[in-house]
């Protein structure tokens, strides 16, 4: 029996062994990072080293890093605790950004899945001040990279702030927070080979967000609660390795492009929403006409291949992915989209196995439809 081919890195990437070891070491050592005795100081040192590493990965000042319980919390804090009179979110944001403010205005995207900067400009002109724009750096489902610097320029024209969800981008493509110019960023450890349940809010102004979670004075009063030292240590180590091995992600785009070309050759009706726009090197959203996403995921699973139907958060609910709906993809096609996301352990042989499984499923679908 072959090992499972794991092609669901955008849901959660396997941990780098070094990151798992760093987390385990911190867990074995124990101690509270706020304690002043020697074991406490050792725990504090792990947290501060990780702060440096995460800051380096995204080109930010370590003073602006606030460790959180993940990307969801970082998005919530950025959006709920910035004091904006109006929040504007792109319609393709992750649910953690979309649902952080129920009064938020949704901004349209183009058919390629790119935020419409002219519509943003108009919405900003109509919004009460100060406004906050939330736009992601890369979409979790299509992989489409967003024009964040353009969104920042538009926001500045209207005196607005910008929060950028960099959860899927960090560790996959270079992220330079200072150059992009947003006021805050969300990052999550488990998307880049670190542990689940830990992330960071990255602030340009270290005091630029009020706390979402109140209590003790941890994280300089910006996030109460005893630090998850083991998680943070694993996050820091994962950030270091991801930064060192960023070039390897470039290798994945050739593999992804070959995979997509083979799928199109197998079925000229198959297509990839967002493929015409700049994308993450590892992500592919592929529509297999006539075969619903859930059926594809189950068939792939039986074939030993782990992939997903849109974002993991929306699986289990039978409705077309809202990201594709926002791009104007018709409902029948959107219901048949499969998300394939490669990562640091993916081999050419695994992609071959996926394409072979896709071909078998496509033949069965064609026979059923005929």
List residues near ligand PLP by CB under 6 A. Answer: 70-72, 75, 94, 96, 136, 140, 165, 167-168, 188, 199, 311
Closer residue to ligand PLP in complex, CB, 142/346: 142
Please count the other Cβ atoms lying within 10 Å of the Cβ belonging to residue 338. Answer: 26
Minimum distance, C-beta of residue 136 to ligand PLP, in the bound complex (Å): 5
Minimum distance, C-beta of residue 194 to ligand PLP, in the bound complex (Å): 10
Closer residue to ligand PLP in complex, CB, 71/321: 71
Closest-approach residue to ligand PLP (CB): 71
Minimum distance, C-beta of residue 188 to ligand PLP, in the bound complex (Å): 3
The active-site residue, picked from 81, 164, 313, 336, is 313
Three-state DSSP class for residue 40: helix
Q: What is the CA radius of gyration of the chain?
A: 21
Minimum distance, C-beta of residue 320 to ligand PLP, in the bound complex (Å): 18
CA dihedral 132, 138, 141, 144 (to 10 degrees): 110
Closer residue to ligand PLP in complex, CB, 94/204: 94
Minimum distance, C-beta of residue 169 to ligand PLP, in the bound complex (Å): 8
Q: Is 351 exposed, middle or buried (0-12, 13-18, 19+ CB in 10 A)?
A: buried
* C-alpha dihedral sign at 307, 313, 317, 322: negative
313 in active site: yes
Three-state DSSP class for residue 279: strand
**Per-residue b or e along 176-197, where b marks 16 or more CB atoms closer than 10 Å to that residue's CB:** ebeebbbbbbbbbbbbbbbbee
Q: Where are the beta strands (DSSP E) in 318-359?
A: 337-341
Whether residue 185 contacts residue 163, with contact meaning beta carbons closer than 8 Å, is answered with yes
Closer residue to ligand PLP in complex, CB, 143/208: 143
Closer residue to ligand PLP in complex, CB, 75/293: 75
**φ and ψ at residue 123, rounded to 5 degrees:** -65, -35
Give dist(CA 365, CA 347) in Å, integer. Answer: 27
Q: Is 173 exposed, middle or buried (0-12, 13-18, 19+ CB in 10 A)?
A: buried
Bridge partners of 163, per DSSP, are 134, 184
Structure tokens at 256: 């992804």
* C-alpha dihedral sign at 232, 238, 244, 248: negative
Residues across the chain: 370
Whether residue 110 contacts residue 146, with contact meaning beta carbons closer than 8 Å, is answered with no
Minimum distance, C-beta of residue 324 to ligand PLP, in the bound complex (Å): 15
Helices and strands, counts by H and E, the chain: 13, 11
Minimum distance, C-beta of residue 29 to ligand PLP, in the bound complex (Å): 24
Closer residue to ligand PLP in complex, CB, 99/110: 99
Q: Which residues are catalytic?
A: 313
């Amino acid at each position: 029996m072959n090992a499972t081919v794991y092609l669901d890195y955008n849901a959660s990437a396997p941990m780098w062994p070094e990151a798992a070891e760093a987390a385990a070491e911190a867990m074995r050592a124990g101690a509270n990072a706020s304690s002043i005795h020697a074991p406490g100081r050792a725990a504090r040192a792990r947290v501060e080293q990780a702060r440096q590493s995460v800051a380096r990965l995204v080109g930010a000042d370590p003073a602006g890093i606030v460790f959180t319980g993940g990307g969801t919390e970082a998005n919530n804090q950025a959006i709920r605790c910035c004091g904006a009179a109006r929040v504007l979110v792109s319609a393709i944001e992750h649910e953690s950004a979309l649902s952080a403010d129920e009064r938020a205005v949704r901004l349209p995207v183009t058919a390629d899945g790119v935020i419409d900067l002219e519509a943003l400009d108009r919405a900003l002109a109509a919004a009460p001040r100060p406004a906050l724009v939330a736009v992601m750096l890369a979409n979790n489902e299509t992989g489409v990279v967003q024009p964040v610097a353009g969104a920042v320029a538009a926001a500045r024209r209207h005196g607005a702030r910008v929060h950028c969800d960099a959860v899927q981008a960090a560790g996959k493509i270079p992220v330079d927070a200072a150059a992009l110019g947003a006021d805050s960023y969300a990052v999550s450890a488990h998307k880049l080979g670190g542990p689940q349940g830990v992330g960071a809010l990255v602030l340009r102004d270290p005091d630029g967000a009020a706390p979402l979670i109140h209590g003790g004075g941890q994280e300089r009063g910006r996030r109460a609660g005893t630090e998850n030292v083991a998680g943070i240590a694993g996050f820091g180590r994962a950030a270091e390795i991801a930064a060192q091995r960023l070039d390897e992600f470039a290798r994945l785009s050739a593999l992804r492009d070959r995979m997509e070309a083979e799928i199109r050759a197998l079925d000229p009706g198959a297509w990839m929403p967002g493929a015409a726009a700049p994308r993450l090197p590892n992500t592919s959203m592929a529509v297999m006409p006539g075969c619903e996403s859930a059926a594809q995921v189950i068939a792939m699973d039986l074939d030993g291949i782990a992939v997903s139907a849109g974002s993991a958060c929306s699986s289990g609910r039978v409705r077309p992915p809202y990201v594709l709906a926002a791009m104007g993809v018709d409902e029948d096609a959107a219901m048949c989209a499969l998300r394939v996301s490669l990562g640091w352990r993916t081999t050419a042989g695994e992609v071959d196995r996926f394409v072979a499984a896709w071909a078998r499923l496509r033949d069965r679908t064609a026979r059923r439809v005929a």
